[in-house]
Amino acid sequence: MPRDLDPRNLDACIEGCAASHQLLLETVDALSPEQFAADSLLPGWSVLQVVAHLALNAQSHVHLLSCAGRGEVGEQYVGGASGRAAEIEAASSWSIEQAGKELRRAVYSLEGAWAGATYDTWNGTGITASGAVLSMHELPFMRWREVVVHLTDMNIGLGYEQWPDFYVRQELERQRMAWAASHGIGLTLIPQAALALNDKHRLAWLLQRAEVDGLPLGPGL
């Protein structure tokens, strides 16, 4: 069920994501050809494919906001999950120069779309690649998650310890609620071994970006 619009939280997520966007662009600009070609922490994905995904994801958010601005319910990727996969596969052949340009263009197009969104646009809805219905005011947080987590997935030294504190607090609450909703009575609390961790390590476990002795992998995104 879509959440209600909280203007202050929306502004905070936009500000946080914009800062992470700048870190992303600076990081990608500094990558060597060898780093682009290297394997990421995502099975089967190179660093270039992660960068391509982040560019395409930003473009998909621009598309959703554009549809909502016209009073339409847009589909994030044409063809849903298979369409998303096809776009990423096509983008995997980008050159390093094209990947950097496409990412920068997509990031600033998205930030421009945020700046131009009206109250009605933010309260519109769209359909994600998984088929879920999402309010447009959820997009900045969702985008922030993509940037923060995939910067770690690029395997270039930006670990979960560097995730922004406000993002971590927001995400932990969402993951706590998701955990409770997906577990039966008596199992709605996150395991004690995970609760004993600091917030960033616990979140990394929940998102399958860190392991915890004695526990299976977390539920992931």
Give the integer Cα–Cα distance in Å for 178 and 200: 17
List, for residues 143-160, the tens digit of each pLDDT value: 999 999 999 999 999 999
Long-range contacts of residues 39-45, Cβ cutoff 8 Å, at least 24 apart: 39/155, 40/153, 40/154, 40/155, 41/152, 41/153, 41/154, 41/155, 41/209, 42/153, 45/153
Segment 76-94 shows an average pLDDT of: 80
What is the per-residue pLDDT for 88? 77
Output the CA torsion 137→141→144→150 (10° steps): -120
pLDDT at 186 over 60: no
Listed by start position, the domains of the chain span: 7-158, 160-221
Share of the chain above pLDDT 70, in %: 95
What is the per-residue pLDDT for 13? 98
CB 170 within 8 A of CB 141: yes
pLDDT at 170 over 90: yes
Give the integer Cα–Cα distance in Å for 4 and 43: 36
List, for residues 105-126, the tens digit of each pLDDT value: 999 999 999 999 999 999 999 9
Give the integer Cα–Cα distance in Å for 49 and 37: 9
What is the per-residue pLDDT for 204? 96
What is the per-residue pLDDT for 217? 77
What is the per-residue pLDDT for 219? 72
Give the integer Cα–Cα distance in Å for 64 and 44: 28
Confidence at 185, pLDDT banded by 50, 70, 90: low
CATH architecture of the domain with range 7-158: Up-down Bundle (1.20)
40 three-state secondary structure: coil
DSSP-assigned beta bridge partners for residue 39: 46
